[in-house]
A and B are shown apart, each in its own frame.
Chain A
Amino acid sequence: MSVSDATTALTEELAARDDMIVCEGVNKWFGDFQALDGITAVIKEREVVVVLGPSGSGKSTWIRCINRLEAHQEGRIVVDGVELTNDLRNIEKIRSEVGMVFQQFNLFPHLTVADNITLAPIWVRKKPKGEAEELARSLLERVGIPEQAEKYPGQLSGGQQQRVALARALALEPRIMLFDEPTSALDPEMIKEVLDVMKELAMSGMTMMVVTHEIGFAREVADRVIFMDDGQIVETGTPEHFFTNPQEERTKLFLSQIL
């Protein structure tokens, strides 16, 4: 099967699925600087999309617009059928369906690992405490650190902290997971333990949007790679296609620098 055949097959299969994230002509400015320039893309259910691009290209801004940590100024963003507007209720609804993992983990330092994970299910999802604790235990099991539940984030290594952050996001049982450079603040030996958990998550059928510089992860796990530069989507395609046969000059230059 040739590369283009595979792409065609995938496109057909994807077309049958539901749209999870739809962006249409999204523009965003920070002051006079245009951070996002006409972003148009659709991310399907159970799809794993890796966003690549040089720093300052707008990848993080885009992903942060999807759960409205940043507000876009023009265009439409529809997440799981709900359009993002200034209406507070929409934002709360979206945020409880979209989990996010940050580059700097952003765990709550004054709470134990267990409390970090149970706080949102209890107060946002209105889960009974016992159920939330049960969920936290199983999630910590899933990310491989069940024994750390009673520790504080400051007592954990970076990789462990990021896995707790993942568990915290998963505790809301989200339909979409956003990853904003999840391994960039980690030592090399810890990157793998986080990527392994992310791979397992991708296998389980989670819709994922990942901003990362981990080319290996993109090749192995991604269904699709989106390359951004200057706030625009330059090129998009399956990993094989993207890494072996890039179309755009800008992409070729970028790949030549990182591969």
Chain B
Amino acid sequence: MTATMGDPAAGAGPVEPWDGEREPAQKPEEPSLSAGEWLGRNLFSSPVNALLTAVFSLLVLLVVRGLLNFTFSEERTWRAVKTNMRFLFTHAYPQDQYARIWVCVGAIAVLSGLSVGLLARAGRGISMKKLSMNLMATGGVIALGIVLREPSAIVDDEGVALHRDASAAVGDSFADWLDANAFTVLAVLVLANAALAVWFHLQGTYLRGGPEPRVGHGVLVLASFGVLIVQQYATGEIVRESFVDAMSDRAWWWLAAAVLAGGGAALWSGLGDARRRNTFVPAMYVFFVGAGVMVLSAWVYPWGHYGFLEGEFINEPGRTVAMTTKLPWTVMLVLLVATYELGRVLRAAGAGPRLRVPLNLLWVLTPFVLYWAVLRDPDLDWDHVLSTDLPMALFFAAFGGLVVWFLAHPRIGESGRVVAVVLVAVAALNWVAAYFGWYPMLQKARISFLLLAVVALLAHNFAGDRAQRMKLVAVWVATMAVFHWLVTLVNSPSTVDTPTDALIGGFGITLIVAVFTLLLAFPMGVLLALARTSKLPIFRVLSTVYIEVFRGVPLITVLFFFTLIFNLFLPDNMTLVDIAGATIGFALFSAAYLAENVRGGLQAVRRGQYEASDAVGFTTVQRTLFIVLPQALRVSIPPLVGQVIATFKETSLLAIVGIFDFLRIADKVISAQSEFLGVKREGLLFVSFIYWIFAYNMSKHSQRLEKRLGVGER
């Protein structure tokens, strides 16, 4: 906002030569600035800065006032959002199966708690100085909002705003005059600020650092602030609350502001300057306290009990929220806190490094399990499972295990390659046969065979002693077990009865599509990037064409293709449901962008790294996996997270291809309900807010990740 940021010039003492014996000098602690000094140095340090501060704070206040008045206006029907929470988050997922949703949220809470407690290099946490400043700032912002917001209109018994009679409307009170001339007054105040700036400049007061400029400008800024508030109590024809009534109506908000600001101030002054800086609390505890207050408020504060159950609208403003909301959320918070503490205990016991890989694998596996096994509640056909699925899984586990064991022998040499090539040929022929309809066999057998062929090709890269080979076999068997189990689940019909094609809608489908898109797109993107930088022209050309095609086509076209047209190309007995089609479309599209980001990272890996890898005798696969990719991905984290956020937000295009996603519920479904006909703005504002919370957190997380991975680099 102002031009001078950065630290004031630190006192530079005479430079003494380093004699190696002296104690290294302590960096002198800079005392915290008083509020007045801080304002003087940062906001009113020169005539131009003072004027910029005045003008931009006025602009910010105007925008905030507009947003507050929009949000809290009597014309807003927030009940539409409150009533439709279930719709917004899950659409038509049946109420009697809702426990499944909570199991999913619980699983994510448990994993998050464990991961953060166990793996996060928690740093020093948040300093008391920062915490108390943030508390005071939050309290201050709330207080500012309370006074900036316009007063409620006074309504009659039917809820219609009372109008002033004509004589009062043209009254000559100061407030009415101010209402009519508010912007003129504000303009005069800005001009006065400019005049003040010029006057003090001519006096040389800024240079001398005298207090007069900041007092003068401060008074004028406060005056503008006052104009913005007072003006609202005199708006035109509607009769409004008095200032005192308005403030007392907002007593809960005042309480919140007072508790936050007061708590922050107490912390600030209670701890001395040194302790403020040097006392730290884990960031998660701050989060837990915040979340705890929210959950507690659900039990004590009358947020209101709203809902839409069995065709009836529930509308009970004076009560606390429904038991089906507050109880699960309390359980979720308890789970999160408990698993976080468990993670910390495990970490203190030194289990961190060993549990890192299993925990990350669990994160990758969880979306599949939650969607196919928990949300979908598949109805397994046990006869088929025992007669076909299980034997096939066992066969591939055993046969593949043997192949891996054999091919991972350190001295297998040329015969290993021959075996691998034979397997690849058989796998390829299988797919050709599928195209012509020969040898009808289950699709998962084809995929298993293809996986086996790929593993066979790569096995010699991971060859080693007995223990190493045993590990590879175990990985293969585990992969087969998970893969066949998931395919069996996917092939079983769902027992959850929903009126729409999709199992779930609202924010649920938004999250599911975003997660599966990224799970598909990430490996694809990495492979495409490697192909594009490959020495083999066929890979390079294919990858380049793919990337350029998908980057050159609008995303919405891709989505329409995969939801409407793609089915026409499939064999008669196959159809792609909309959600699957849309997910594939998103994944193919994101993969092209992710590939370009990864390619940027690959180019940042220095030539010397390739040479060193070659010189120690790594194969190309080993070099890529162990040396090149880890470095390339690290460099490309910022653009990758940008792409993740973009993909998350782009899922709102699902609304356009006719899927009941988060945005569509707010935009089309709520506004069509008889109770809330045409009510759109509230839903859209709420949806934007939720999107923002998620996107902002991803961005924050990536910043932490960058910092953490930066350790020990270069």
Q: Interface on A for B, CB 8 Å cutoff?
A: 67, 69, 92, 95-96, 98-100, 102, 104, 106-110, 119-120, 122-124, 126-129, 151-155, 165, 168-169, 172
Contacts and interface: CB of A to CB of B under 8 A. Distances in A.
A123 B617 CA distance: 9
Given A95-B616, A120-B617, A126 B464 contact: yes
B448 to A, nearest CB: 27
Contact of B616 (A124, A154, A155): A124
Contacts of A124: 616-618, 622
A80 to B, nearest CB: 14
B79 interface: no
B616 A102 contact: no
Contacts of B614: 67, 69, 95
9 contacts: A95-B616, A106-B609, A109-B631, A109-B714, A124-B618, A126-B465, A154-B713, A155-B712, A165-B612
Nearest to B409: A126
Contact of B615 (A69, A123, A126): A69
Contacts of B462: 123
Contacts of B622: 123-124
A108 B617 contact: no
B612 A92 contact: no
Given A67-B614, A109-B714, A153-B712, 14 more contacts: A69-B614, A92-B619, A100-B612, A102-B611, A107-B612, A108-B626, A109-B713, A120-B617, A120-B618, A122-B464, A123-B461, A126-B410, A126-B463, A127-B464
Which 3 interchain pairs have the tightest Cβ spacing?
A: A152-B712, A106-B612, A106-B608
Given A102-B611, A102-B612, A110-B630, A95 B712 contact: no
A163 B615 CA distance: 16
Contacts of B627: 108
Nearest to A168: B616
Contact of B713 (A129, A152, A165): A152
Interface string B687-714: 0000000000000000000000001111
A120 B626 CA distance: 10
A67 B615 contact: yes
B242 interface: no
Given A95-B617, A106-B612, A110-B631, A128 B712 contact: no
Contacts of B615: 67, 69, 95, 98-100, 102, 169
Contacts of B617: 92, 95-96, 120, 124, 172
A92 B463 CA distance: 15
A151 B711 CA distance: 11
Interface string B405-423: 0000010000000000000
B467 interface: yes
A128 B611 contact: no
Contact of B714 (A95, A154, A169): A154
A122 B626 CA distance: 12
Given A95-B615, A104-B608, A108-B609, A128 B464 contact: yes
A86 B438 CA distance: 41
A20 B614 CA distance: 20
Contacts of A168: 616
Contacts of A109: 631, 712-714
B468 interface: yes
Contacts of A110: 630-631, 634, 713
Contact of B468 (A98, A108, A128): A128
Contacts of B626: 108, 119, 123
Contacts of A119: 616, 626
A95 B608 CA distance: 16
Nearest to A153: B712
Contacts of B630: 110
